């Protein structure tokens, strides 16, 4: 088949789905309840592109294919093409987006069943897939930016999906606005590159970019990274992601775990030639990644909301990926993107299944006359023992938990180990001091990861059920449309790690993903050239160390939580004291933004005018800017007195200003 | 010049003002019909037909070579045709949008539509002027008609207040404007734009006189396009005037004024001395417009401040002063006209009870999107486009005005512009939020407001809005070609065809 | 007696300034309207002076238009003032401030 045609189909099918699912039911009310049609169409327009991508992948011969749709705009020396690029990197990303995306669409047909906004949900999801495909398939920065904005918009729409709940839309606004801060940096980077190189096509950027002066390069990469921190939830712009969990769970799985949040990593991998040339910024990237990883992991230990645990875990894992990018191992960060998409997708969908069944429990309790106003179906403290009621969910959650914890021979083990190894290697062979720090933090974070994931699994699925009347009110397994996706993703969590076997095996020759993506083997992702390598015995030692830590900590957490259940949290709290409190308060980010930025600077003035954007954390910053504007607005408003002569006076003052500037300023 | 020859030359020049003739004659016919029956339903459609004929004519003039007519008083060719087309299309859209609105208010007098036609004639004259005399006549024809239209609903104290403020300040600024023309005339000895550039400002006194005149002259334009600090009338007038006509004021009159200003800057003003003035005014305008819009509860008032902000963006391009920047400004005018007419059009169709437009709060429109999906969806397009969100025309418009300014070395100005347009996201998206993401039952205002019942749906008006929304998307895709075409208006032959002189 | 151009210009400037001050400080809408007329006529004087001294008719041409425009504006303006008086029973422009901020 003609690969150009395939690319067109891959891109346009999701758009078609979004248009049909969105506009049809909007104008024809009878269509809104046709769940079968909407769900089938919505899923098909993602699964078919997946099949087409798989075909492209299988027949790909190593030569990048560029597909020009049409010329977007041509003005002066700027010519922008709607142009798409198929190469190894974009193929892998497209497979993840459509593959995991398709599974999550299937899951959503069950999860959203009976929701009045079913059609809207699928329209948004399809639109999201379309935007995400634009992002990963773009052949130049403007098209990538279009996708980048598009996914942000869809994320906004989907987080605020249940919009009757006010805090949801505050979260939606927060996500949107924080992303805009990142987008602003991205735009600036684009302007900078264009003014220097006169083009934004990837081939030009990657060929000529590294020859730019060091200052320009550093600034560009730094701005790109700031853009990436917004989308990929790194310090200090990470705060939107935990709040974004207000959206429907499939959205959390698709956008806030598997695809959109990894687009920052994709951007860095795509621009790897440039990033490698800006060594100072690489150190920044690695350190920010490491700090984010450990910070989010410690917070995750203290969370009781099952989705919040996974959300902070995602932030932490994204930190890992940035660590990899910061030590020049871009292909490893993409590898971790791939494995993470499977196990985190599986965990989120599993949590959705749990929440569904806990909501069922809530309804039954209500029917029996209990007061359920305090009952939170997402709180792990009221769960427990769910394994016996929902075996599929439990087993898949368990597999994914093992995978993310880095238990040997599952996916997370390989990708995480590779990150740690690359960091170690960059310090050991490359001689970069910050790499040691990154490596150390990475090892500690690995231990924390095993701990909080084990906690989440054992609190949720084992032990005694902790909801009231647990002997009469039972939880139920979810429908097949939800459990089948879980098993698919769990399977992926088990096996995808073998795509990147570590260097100790056959001297790295079996590391498929490295050979596929790496520039040394004709792929698109550059890597630093290091002289020498880590001795084999030391490599084995490192692997042994991290496996030992993962297994040990996991077993420790298992025994602790099996023995004492929720009470162990108090033991922890007592042992770590103020430190635990700090974690539990998410390092006072909320307080910082609230008290320092909002209260002391603008004294709450910002809030009144911006009620819809009310929120707590980064709204603080946002409200800070807006608040300053509001203060200015208040002053200016006083000038707008409504009296016509004051207006005339302003006009005369303007006359004086203009004459002055014109006569004396020229 | 021999009188007979002068008449024959003028007769030969008649096609140059074909659209003005058509529109004014149709306006007279409308007045005549209105004399027999003032609310005859065919009157607005007569006007639409006249303007459609005129726009068809202008459409064919788009590609013609630039030149002058009537002894250098009028400019013909692509540039003038572009501005005229813009004004005429705005007039058509406004007329159609006004029909259900004025009917509901029981103010559907034929004279209103006739006045709209005469305002359009003034704008056409303004946009194709080549001499100070025609600029003045065009500007005043337009303004006097708009004063009347602003106070159309004369039983409403808000409307008459709007008219009074508009009139007093407008007449006041006309004084400065005319004084500026007088000083420029005195310094150069000519009223014709190209001749002005060639005039010899030998003496130092002459130079001072000339630049003081330019400053006063610019003020007249800056007032009409509502640049700060000459903007104070805008929010009050926009809030009080009938909503569809506000849309017309905020778009067509600005398009014509900007079109004329670009001609003056391009042909008549030699040095780049005005760069600093326009840049400073652009900064003040962008800041004031965006910052003030943040705290408005009334959508019309918010849109008024937003239109001030947009004038600021266009001024950025004018400050840059290159041909690419002027072309970008023309494209921005096109995009801005479409999206702003659309936004005011949506608001016009959402007023519960005619006069509520000036008191209707944004909150009272909570959840309106689901009741009026067409209006809701098109409003989302307009708001995103006004914000400058990529898939829509607004983004490309901003790009077209900002990029040439960076090339011209005004990076600091563009930075402020980009920052300010980021700020604008708050108040535009707030509209989207209220329309779609709030529930009527949660908002006190909305529950009370809906008691009177939603205004009836007008299919033709909604059709116009859909066309505007689709147009914004289409403009995004054809932006390259449109900007290219706009650049073509300023090519070398346009310079050569300076012509004129008395 | 030949009067120098500068005298006309000075007179025009003075009249213009008086008109401006009148707009800024008079509270009666009718007086403000008259002040605006004064500004326009000051400009007319300036234009005629320039036109005469340069022997170029264009300036006087513009004056004709300006007079016509001023008449139209006066008609519209008075109508608006009457409408204001009907609804508010005052022509003090400082009391007309329904819209502000």
Closest residue on chain A to B235 (Cα): A640
Closest residue on chain C to A633 (Cα): C101
- The two tokens of residue A529 are 């050239």
For chain A, the maximum distance between any two Cα atoms, rounded to a whole number of angstroms, is 89
Which position has the higher pLDDT, B429 or A498?
A498
Buried b (16+ CB within 10 A) or exposed e, A468-500: eeeeebbbebbeebbbebbbbbbebbbebbebb
Closest residue on chain B to A659 (Cα): B215
The answer to whether position C60 is within a domain reads: yes
Asked if residue A136 has pLDDT above 50, the reply is yes
- CB contacts, 8 Å: B442 with chain A: 164, 166
Mean pLDDT for A56-80 is 77
The answer to whether position C86 is within a domain reads: yes
Asked if residue B11 has pLDDT above 90, the reply is no
Give residue B294's pLDDT.
81
Instruction: Convert B328-342 into a string of H (helix), E (strand) and C (coil).
Output: HHHHHHHHHHHHHHH
CA distance A428 to A443: 16
Q: Please name the residues in contact with B236: beta carbons below 8 A apart, sequence gap of 6 or more.
A: A642, B161, B162, B165, C99, C100
Cβ within 8 Å, pair B235-A640: yes
Give residue A72's pLDDT.
63
Asked if residue A424 has pLDDT above 60, the reply is yes
Cβ within 8 Å, pair B484-A75: yes
Q: How far is CA A442 from CA A231, A239, A257, A502, A546, in A?
A: 22, 21, 20, 17, 10
Which position has the higher pLDDT, A242 or A344?
A344
Between A4-8, A191-195, C46-50, the lowest mean confidence (pLDDT) is in A191-195
Q: Which range has the top average pLDDT, A433-437, A506-510, A656-660, C43-47?
A: C43-47
Residue C86 at interface with chain A, using a CB cutoff of 8 Å: no
Q: Band of the pLDDT at A73, cuts 50, 70, 90? A: low
CA distance A546 to A536: 16
C21, C84, B430: which is closest to A645 by C-alpha?
Answer: C21
Q: What percent of chain B has pLDDT over 70?
A: 93
Judge contact between A662 and B214, C-beta under 8 A: yes
Which position has the higher pLDDT, B26 or A212?
B26
Cβ within 8 Å, pair C80-B151: yes
Asked if residue A621 has pLDDT above 60, the reply is no
Asked if residue B205 has pLDDT above 70, the reply is no
Mean pLDDT for A375-387 is 88
The answer to whether position C87 is within a domain reads: yes
| Nearest chain B CA: its distance from C76 CA (Å) | 7
Cβ within 8 Å, pair A655-B233: no
CA distance A599 to A432: 42
CA distance B393 to B476: 4
Cβ within 8 Å, pair C99-B161: yes
Q: How far is CA B89 from CA B50, B82, B83, in A?
A: 11, 11, 10
Give the sign of the dihedral formed by CA A457, CA A458, CA A461, CA A467: negative
* Model confidence pLDDT, tens digit, residues A469-488: 888 888 888 888 889 999 99
B166, B160, B277, B267: which is closest to B216 by C-alpha?
Answer: B277
Give residue B498's pLDDT.
47
Q: Please name the residues in contact with A151: beta carbons below 8 A apart, sequence gap of 6 or more.
A: A128, A131, A132, A135, A231, A255, A259, A260, A263
Give residue B502's pLDDT.
34
Predicted complex ipTM: 0.95
Closest residue on chain C to A636 (Cα): C101
Q: Please name the residues in contact with A294: beta carbons below 8 A apart, sequence gap of 6 or more.
A: A316, A319, A441, A444, A445, A448
Task: Taking each helix axis as running N to C, give the angle between helix A214-231 and helix A263-270, from 0 to 180 degrees, rounded to the nearest 10.
Answer: 160
First to last CA, chain B: 11
Give residue A263's pLDDT.
92
- CB contacts, 8 Å: B137 with chain C: 65, 69
Cβ within 8 Å, pair B438-A27: no
Residue of C32, C80, C93 with shortest CB distance to B163: C80
Residue C73 at interface with chain B, using a CB cutoff of 8 Å: yes
Residue of B168, B274, B277 with shortest CB distance to A644: B168
DSSP assignments along A264-283, one per residue: HHHHHHHTHHHHHH-HHHHH
Q: Which domain holds residue C89?
A: 27-93
Which position has the higher pLDDT, A101 or B415?
A101
Asked if residue A34 has pLDDT above 70, the reply is yes
Asked if residue A606 has pLDDT above 60, the reply is no
Between A245-249, A345-349, A554-558, B202-206, the lowest mean confidence (pLDDT) is in B202-206
Mean pLDDT for A448-463 is 92
Residue A609 at interface with chain B, using a CB cutoff of 8 Å: yes
Cβ within 8 Å, pair A645-C25: yes
Q: Band of the pLDDT at A428, cuts 50, 70, 90? A: confident
Cβ within 8 Å, pair C83-B160: yes
Give residue B451's pLDDT.
58
SS3 A65: strand
Residue C94 at interface with chain A, using a CB cutoff of 8 Å: yes
Cβ within 8 Å, pair C62-B132: yes
Which burial class, exposed, middle or buried, applies to B60 when counting CB atoms under 10 A from its CB (0-12, 13-18, 19+)?
A: exposed
Q: How far is CA B262 from CA A90, A293, B286, B500, in A?
A: 46, 55, 19, 17
Mean pLDDT for B274-289 is 92
Cβ within 8 Å, pair A640-C24: no
Give residue A413's pLDDT.
92
Give residue B501's pLDDT.
36
Which position has the higher pLDDT, A51 or B274?
A51
Beta bridge partners of A138: A84
* Model confidence pLDDT, tens digit, residues B436-455: 877 777 777 777 665 566 77
Give residue A611's pLDDT.
38
Buried b (16+ CB within 10 A) or exposed e, A151-164: bbbbbbbbbbbebe
- The two tokens of residue B403 are 């990029």
Phi/psi at A65 (5° precision): -105, 130
Rg, Å, chain B Cα set: 22
| Nearest chain A CA: its distance from C96 CA (Å) | 7
Please report the residues numbered 472 through 491 in chain B whose beta carbons come closer than 8 angstroms to any beta carbon of chain A.
Answer: 477, 479-481, 483-484, 487
Give this prediction's pTM.
0.68
Total structural domains within chain C = 1
Mean pLDDT for A7-34 is 86
Q: Which range has the top average pLDDT, A309-318, A632-641, B59-68, B270-279?
A: A309-318
Asked if residue A179 has pLDDT above 80, the reply is no
The chain-wide mean pLDDT, for chain B, equals: 87
Q: Band of the pLDDT at A600, cuts 50, 70, 90? A: very low
Closest residue on chain C to A637 (Cα): C101
* Model confidence pLDDT, tens digit, residues A279-322: 899 999 999 999 999 999 999 999 999 999 999 999 999 999 99
Say how far residue A650 (Cα) sits from the centre of its chain: 50
Give residue A265's pLDDT.
93
Give residue B62's pLDDT.
87
Asked if residue A594 has pLDDT above 80, the reply is no
Residue C87 at interface with chain A, using a CB cutoff of 8 Å: no
What CATH number did the domain enclosing C40 receive? 1.10.287.3510
Angle at A286 between CA A284 and CA A291, to 5 degrees: 95
Residue C85 at interface with chain A, using a CB cutoff of 8 Å: no
Cβ within 8 Å, pair C23-B147: no
Q: Please name the residues in contact with A449: beta carbons below 8 A apart, sequence gap of 6 or more.
A: A297, A313, A316, A317, A404, A405, A406
Give residue A457's pLDDT.
93
Closest residue on chain C to B161 (Cα): C96
Give residue B426's pLDDT.
79
Buried b (16+ CB within 10 A) or exposed e, C4-21: eeeebbeebeebbeebbe
Give residue A597's pLDDT.
42
Question: Which chains reach chain C with 3 or more Cβ–Cβ distances below 8 angstroms?
Answer: A, B
Asked if residue A613 has pLDDT above 70, the reply is no
Instruction: Convert A168-210 into a string of H (helix), E (strand) and C (coil).
Output: HHHHHHHHHHHHHHHHHHHHHHHHHHHHHHCCCEHHHHHHHHH
The chain-wide mean pLDDT, for chain A, equals: 84
Give residue B488's pLDDT.
84
Q: Band of the pLDDT at A630, cuts 50, 70, 90? A: low
Residue C30 at interface with chain B, using a CB cutoff of 8 Å: no
Asked if residue A531 has pLDDT above 80, the reply is no
DSSP assignments along B52-115, one per residue: HHHHHHHHHHTTSPPEEETTTTEEESHHHHHHHHHHHHHHHHHHHHHHHHHHHHT---HHHHHH
Give residue A240's pLDDT.
80
Query: Any idea what DSSP says for residue A598?
Result: I
Mutate to test the interface with B, among C69, C71, C90, C91 (most CBs of B within 10 A): C69
Give residue A625's pLDDT.
57
Give residue A603's pLDDT.
37
Mean pLDDT for A635-640 is 73
Give residue A399's pLDDT.
95
Judge contact between A547 and A413, C-beta under 8 A: yes
Q: How far is CA B39 from CA A334, B33, B113, in A?
A: 70, 9, 10
Mean pLDDT for B425-436 is 84
Give residue A98's pLDDT.
94
Mean pLDDT for B210-217 is 91
Give residue A623's pLDDT.
54
Q: Band of the pLDDT at B143, cuts 50, 70, 90? A: very high
* Model confidence pLDDT, tens digit, residues B233-277: 999 999 999 999 999 999 999 999 999 999 999 888 866 678 889
Q: Band of the pLDDT at A12, cuts 50, 70, 90? A: very high
Buried b (16+ CB within 10 A) or exposed e, A63-77: ebbbbeeeebbebee
Give residue A171's pLDDT.
62
Which position has the higher pLDDT, B344 or B494?
B344
Give the sign of the dihedral formed by CA A58, CA A59, CA A64, CA A68: negative
Domain boundaries, chain B: 5-9+16-269, 272-489
Residue A651 at interface with chain B, using a CB cutoff of 8 Å: yes
């Amino acid at each position: 088949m003609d690969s150009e045609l395939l690319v067109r189909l891959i891109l346009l099918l999701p758009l078609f789905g979004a248009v049909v699912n969105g506009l049809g039911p909007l104008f024809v009310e009878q269509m809104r309840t046709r769940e079968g049609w909407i769900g089938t169409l919505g899923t098909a327009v993602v699964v078919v592109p997946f099949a087409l991508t798989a075909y492209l992948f299988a027949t790909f011969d190593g030569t990048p294919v560029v597909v020009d749709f049409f010329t977007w705009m041509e003005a002066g020396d700027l010519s922008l093409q709607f142009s798409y690029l198929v190469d190894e990197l974009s193929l892998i990303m497209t497979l993840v987006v459509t593959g995991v995306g398709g599974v999550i669409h299937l899951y959503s047909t069950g999860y959203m069943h009976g929701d009045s906004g079913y059609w809207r949900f699928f329209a948004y999801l399809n639109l999201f897939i379309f935007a995400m495909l634009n992002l990963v398939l773009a052949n130049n920065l403007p098209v990538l930016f279009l996708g980048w904005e598009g996914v942000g918009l869809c994320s906004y729409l989907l987080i605020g999906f249940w919009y009757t709940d006010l805090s949801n839309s505050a979260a939606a606004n927060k996500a949107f606005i924080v992303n805009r801060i990142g987008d602003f940096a991205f735009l600036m980077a684009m302007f900078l590159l264009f003014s220097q190189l006169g083009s934004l096509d990837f081939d030009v950027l990657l060929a000529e970019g590294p020859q730019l002066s060091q200052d320009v390069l550093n600034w560009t990469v730094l701005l790109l990274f700031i853009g990436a921190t917004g989308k990929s939830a790194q310090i200090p712009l990470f705060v939107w992601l935990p709040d974004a969990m207000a959206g429907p769970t499939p959205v959390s799985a698709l956008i806030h775990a598997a695809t959109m949040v990894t687009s920052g990593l994709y951007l860095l991998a795509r621009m790897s030639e440039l990033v490698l040339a800006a060594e100072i910024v690489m150190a920044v990237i690695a350190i920010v990644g490491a700090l984010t990883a450990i910070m989010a992991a410690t917070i995750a230990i203290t969370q009781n909301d099952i989705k919040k645990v996974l959300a902070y875990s995602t932030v932490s894992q994204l930190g890992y990926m940035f660590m990899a990018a910061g030590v020049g191992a871009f292909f490893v960060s993409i590898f971790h993107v791939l494995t993470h998409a499977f196990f985190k997708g599986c965990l989120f969908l599993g949590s959705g299944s749990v929440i569904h069944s806990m909501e069922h429990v809530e309804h039954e309790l209500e029917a029996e006359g209990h007061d359920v106003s305090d009952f939170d179906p997402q709180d792990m403290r009221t769960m427990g023992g769910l394994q016996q009621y929902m075996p599929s969910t439990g087993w898949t959650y368990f597999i994914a938990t093992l995978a993310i914890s880095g238990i040997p021979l599952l996916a997370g083990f390989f990708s995480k180990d590779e990150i740690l190894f690359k960091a170690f290697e960059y310090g050991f062979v490359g001689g970069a001091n910050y790499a040691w720090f990154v490596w150390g933090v990475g090892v500690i974070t690995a231990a924390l990861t095993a701990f909080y994931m084990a906690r989440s699994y054992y609190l949720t699925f084992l032990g005694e059920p902790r909801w009231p009347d647990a002997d009469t009110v039972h939880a139920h397994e979810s429908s097949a449309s939800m459990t089948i996706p879980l098993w698919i993703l769990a399977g992926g969590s088990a096996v995808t790690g073998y795509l990147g076997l570590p260097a100790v095996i056959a001297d790295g020759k079996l590391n498929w993903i490295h050979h596929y993506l790496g520039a040394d083997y004709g792929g698109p992702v550059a890597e630093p050239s290091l002289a020498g390598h880590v001795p084999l015995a030391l490599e084995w030692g490192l692997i042994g160390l991290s496996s030992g830590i993962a297994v040990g900590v996991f077993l420790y957490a298992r025994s602790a939580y099996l023995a004492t259940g929720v009470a162990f949290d108090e033991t922890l709290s007592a042992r770590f004291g103020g430190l635990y409190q700090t974690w539990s308060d998410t390092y006072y980010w909320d307080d910082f933004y609230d008290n320092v930025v909002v209260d002391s600077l603008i004294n709450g003035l910002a809030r009144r005018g911006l009620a819809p954007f009310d929120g707590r954390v980064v709204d603080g910053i946002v409200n800070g800017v807006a608040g300053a504007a509001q203060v200015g607005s208040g002053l200016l408003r006083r000038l707008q007195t409504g009296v016509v002569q004051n207006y005339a006076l302003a006009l005369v003052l303007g006359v004086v200003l203009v004459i002055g500037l014109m006569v004396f300023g020229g | 010049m021999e009188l007979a020859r002068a008449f024959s030359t003028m007769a030969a020049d008649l096609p140059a003002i074909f659209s003005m003739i058509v529109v004014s004659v149709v306006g007279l016919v409308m007045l005549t019909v209105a004399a027999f029956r003032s609310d005859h339903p065919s009157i607005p459609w007569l006007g639409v037909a006249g303007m459609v004929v005129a726009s068809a004519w202008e459409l064919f003039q788009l590609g013609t070579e630039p030149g002058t007519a009537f002894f250098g008083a009028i400019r013909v060719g692509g540039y003038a045709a572009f501005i005229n087309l813009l004004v005429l299309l705005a007039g058509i859209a406004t007329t159609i949008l006004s029909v259900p609105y004025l009917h509901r208010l029981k103010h559907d007098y034929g004279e209103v539509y006739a006045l709209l036609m005469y305002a359009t004639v003034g704008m056409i004259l303004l946009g194709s002027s080549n001499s100070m005399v025609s600029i003045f006549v065009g500007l005043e024809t337009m303004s006097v008609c708009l004063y009347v239209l602003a106070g159309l609903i004369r039983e409403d104290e808000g409307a008459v207040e709007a008219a009074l403020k508009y009139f007093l300040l407008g007449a006041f600024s006309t004084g400065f404007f005319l004084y500026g023309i007088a000083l420029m005339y005195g310094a150069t000895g000519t009223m014709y734009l190209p001749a002005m550039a060639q005039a010899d400002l030998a003496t130092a006194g002459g130079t001072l006189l000339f630049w003081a005149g330019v400053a006063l002259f610019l003020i007249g334009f800056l007032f009409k396009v509502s640049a700060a600090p000459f903007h104070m009338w805008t929010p009050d007038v926009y809030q009080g005037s009938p909503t569809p006509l506000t849309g017309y004021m905020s778009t067509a009159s600005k398009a014509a004024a900007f079109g004329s200003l670009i001609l003056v800057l391009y042909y008549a003003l030699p040095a780049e001395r005005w760069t600093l003035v326009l840049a400073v005014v652009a900064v003040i305008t962008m800041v004031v417009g965006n910052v003030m819009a943040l705290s408005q509860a009334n959508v019309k008032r918010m849109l008024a401040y937003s239109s001030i902000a947009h004038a600021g963006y266009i001024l950025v391009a004018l400050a840059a002063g290159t041909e690419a920047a002027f072309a970008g400004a023309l494209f921005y005018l096109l995009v801005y006209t479409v999206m702003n007419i659309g936004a005011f059009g949506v608001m016009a169709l959402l007023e519960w009870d005619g006069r509520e437009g000036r008191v209707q709060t944004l909150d009272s429109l909570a959840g309106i999107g689901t009741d009026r999906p067409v209006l809701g969806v098109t409003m989302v397009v307009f708001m995103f486009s006004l914000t400058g969100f990529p898939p829509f025309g607004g983004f490309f418009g901003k790009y077209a005005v900002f990029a040439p300014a960076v090339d011209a070395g005004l990076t600091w100005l563009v930075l402020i512009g980009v920052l300010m347009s980021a700020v604008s996201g708050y108040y535009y998206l707030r509209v989207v939020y209220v329309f779609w993401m709030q529930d009527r039952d949660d908002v006190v205002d909305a529950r009370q407001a809906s008691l009177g019942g939603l205004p009836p749906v007008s299919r033709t008006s909604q059709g116009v809005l859909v066309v505007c929304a689709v147009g914004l998307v289409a403009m995004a895709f054809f932006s390259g070609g449109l900007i290219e075409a706009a650049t073509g208006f300023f090519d070398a032959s346009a310079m050569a065809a300076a012509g004129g002189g008395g | 007696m030949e009067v120098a151009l500068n005298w006309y210009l000075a007179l025009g400037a003075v009249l213009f300034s008086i008109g401006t001050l009148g707009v800024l400080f008079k509270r009666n809408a009718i007086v403000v309207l008259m002040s605006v007329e004064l500004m326009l006529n000051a400009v007319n004087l300036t234009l005629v002076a320039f036109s005469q001294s340069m022997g170029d008719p264009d300036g006087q041409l513009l004056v004709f238009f300006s007079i016509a425009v001023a008449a139209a504006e006066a008609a519209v303006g008075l109508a608006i003032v009457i409408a204001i008086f009907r609804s508010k029973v005052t022509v003090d422009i400082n009391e007309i401030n329904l819209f502000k901020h």
